[in-house]
Amino acid sequence: MASPMRIRAAAKDGVTEVRVLMSHVMETGQRKDSSGEVIPAHFITELTARHNDKLVLSAEFGPSVSTNPYLAFKFKGGEKGDKVTVSWVDNKGDSRTDEAQIA
């Protein structure tokens, strides 16, 4: 299983800014290892973010996203202490869900 995501969320003037750093290899499936064998594709395909169980972001990723992706987004609403949950699923069926409180 992947390492925990680093999630920071802060609310100001009715808008919440969320920053997420995900730990994932994001392998394209087009590179070769030192012996010339193709490294199998392994990348995040779906990502969702929820604020108190309400969907605020849904995204589809592909093999062109870099290793350990960073994502920042804003949404209206959110107050200090509310919960933000970020989840992803990759092309091998692995998944990860982490949460943070809005500061």
pLDDT single digits (tens) 62-75 = 999 999 999 999 99
Task: Name, in order, each residue with C-beta under 8 angstroms of 102's C-beta and a sequence gap of 6 or more.
Answer: 9, 10, 11, 16, 78, 79, 80, 81, 82, 83, 84
For the chain, the C-alpha Rg in angstroms (whole number) is 15
pLDDT at 64: 94
CB 29 within 8 A of CB 91: no
Does the domain made of 6-101 have the CATH classification 2.40.50.140? no
Residue type for position 54: K
The average confidence (pLDDT) of the chain is 96
Q: Decide if pLDDT at 2 tops 90.
A: no
The predicted model gives 80-100 an average pLDDT of: 97
Q: Decide if pLDDT at 51 tops 80.
A: yes
pTM higher than the cut 0.85: yes
Sequence ranges of the domains in the chain: 6-101
Q: Decide if pLDDT at 1 tops 70.
A: no
pLDDT single digits (tens) 6-43 = 999 999 999 999 999 999 999 999 999 999 999 999 99
